[in-house]
Amino acid sequence: MNEFANKTAVITGGASGIGLAMGELFAAQGMKIVLADVEAGALDAAVARLREQGAECLGVVTDVSKADAVQALAERARTQFGAVHILCNNAGVFTGGLLWEESLADYHWLLDVNIWGVVHGIRSFVPMMIGQDCDCHIVNTASMAAVTAMPYSGIYHMSKHAVLALSESLYHELAFHAPKVKVSVLCPESVDTGIAAAERNRPAHYRGDGDIVESGARALVMDSLAQSVATGIHPRVMAQRVLEAIREERFYILSQDGWREAAHTRLDDIRAGRNPTFAPPVA
């Protein structure tokens, strides 16, 4: 896609971080923007910010883990703006710890948002885009955690591997059945966003007795995530990479830093049939 003016982009997790940066950059190309997010106050502020910048922007409070909510989002976007040309399945959350210590609520929360959010986006928007019969693009936010597997973040890695696999399958299916709808997968490294404070949006039904297990491993990984995110790159850089990939119809949007090396080491292990090397990304 090369022409953006007057087209419509829907971005989940659009009230903060990478989602908000994509909203601002798409708006600067003259697009109409629908920001969807579970955090109502932050969403209002983000919509106000885009409108101040001159954008036509709609905010829809949406919990992407719920199929009905994402279907309602798709219908609202179409009613408001007539069509949707770019969908960014971007909402995501993080928690960490040892896989046998983390609660079932931790597993359900991360998989419900990070995987099911993308599934719901695909099921609600792809048929609409195919029906529009025009150039469209879907961007699924995975992570460099989709091509590596480190300790203490296993649920997150598992969820992002699923997003990568779904996106690759979707790429092939669209190429065969609906080639006007393109797809990319965004795999960021450390980006300076609110992800280390994802607990702010953990719904009540994942917060019951025993749902949040304090442990040394969790404290360690949350602390190290907060540090790496605080020194991470600006979300605007991600938005620019995404826009470029949409223009070039490029599927993989990968980081260039130590995470890429960690992914190579993992592939080398698989090719050689070696046991996994512990090779954390070096900045």
Ligand X SMILES: NC(=O)c1ccc[n+]([C@@H]2O[C@H](COP(=O)([O-])OP(=O)(O)OC[C@H]3O[C@@H](n4cnc5c(N)ncnc54)[C@H](O)[C@@H]3O)[C@@H](O)[C@H]2O)c1
By CB under 6 A, name the binding residues for ligand X: 12-13, 15-19, 37-39, 42, 62-65, 90-93, 113, 141, 143, 188, 190-191, 193-195, 198, 201, 229, 232
Q: Of these residues, 156, 171, 206, 252, which one is catalytic?
A: 156
Q: At residue 227, what are phi and psi to the nearest 5 degrees?
A: -65, -45
Minimum CB distance to ligand X, residue 95 (Å)? 11
Angle ∠(255,29,174) on CA atoms, nearest 5: 60
| Closest to 84 (Cα-Cα) out of 170, 1, 176 | 1
Cβ nearer to ligand X, comparing 90 with 135 = 90
Q: Is residue 222 within 8 Å of residue 246, measured between CB atoms?
A: no
Which residue's CB is nearer to ligand X, number 16 or number 124? 16
Nearer to ligand X, 91 or 122 (CB): 91
Nearer to ligand X, 57 or 135 (CB): 57
Asked if residue 86 lies in contact with residue 31, where contact means CB atoms within 8 angstroms, the answer is: yes
User: Least distance in Å: CB of 53 to ligand X?
Assistant: 18
Question: Minimal distance in Å, beta carbon 170 to ligand X?
Answer: 16
**Helix (H, G, I), strand (E, B), or coil: what is residue 47?**
helix
Cα angle, residue 192 at apex, residues 187 and 193 outer, rounded to 5°: 85
Establish whether 206 is a catalytic residue: no
**Which sequence positions are flagged as catalytic?**
156
